[in-house]
Amino acid sequence: MTKEELDKCLKWWESKRLWYNVIVGGIGLLGLCMYSTYFGLIEFIGLLAYGFVANVFYSLGILIEILDYYYFKNELKIYNKRYFLFIVGCLFSCIITWHQINIYYNPFFLI
């Protein structure tokens, strides 16, 4: 992977990070507004930690592209699947976020 390709990869993924955070954060905020009966310091710290971990997982998109270049010599052409990976990853994160809010505020929530 050349420096130009790496820069292009990073710029693409980082330009979508704000949208990812808005969408997943919006789902989380909606769930909190619907189900939350309390919100204290522990919940706030958990919210910050959850946001950090979600962004670490978002960075896997960049890592997958770099691994494709390094190990597969770009045979998988992951860069052609960026939008698909972004949409699937965002939907997955939204489902996990919604599910976690339901589990936390409703211990009898069934999968």
Q: Which of these, 111, 110, 80, 101, lies nearest to 37 by C-alpha position? A: 101
pLDDT score for 108? 79
Q: Label residue 110 by pLDDT band (50, 70, 90).
A: low
pTM of the complete model beyond 0.85: yes
Q: Which of these, 28, 30, 8, lies nearest to 78 by C-alpha position? A: 8
CA distance 94 to 32: 13
**pLDDT greater than 60 at residue 20:** yes
CA distance 35 to 17: 27
pLDDT score for 2? 84
Number of neighbouring beta carbons within 10 Å of residue 70: 10
pLDDT score for 89? 95
**pLDDT greater than 70 at residue 111:** no
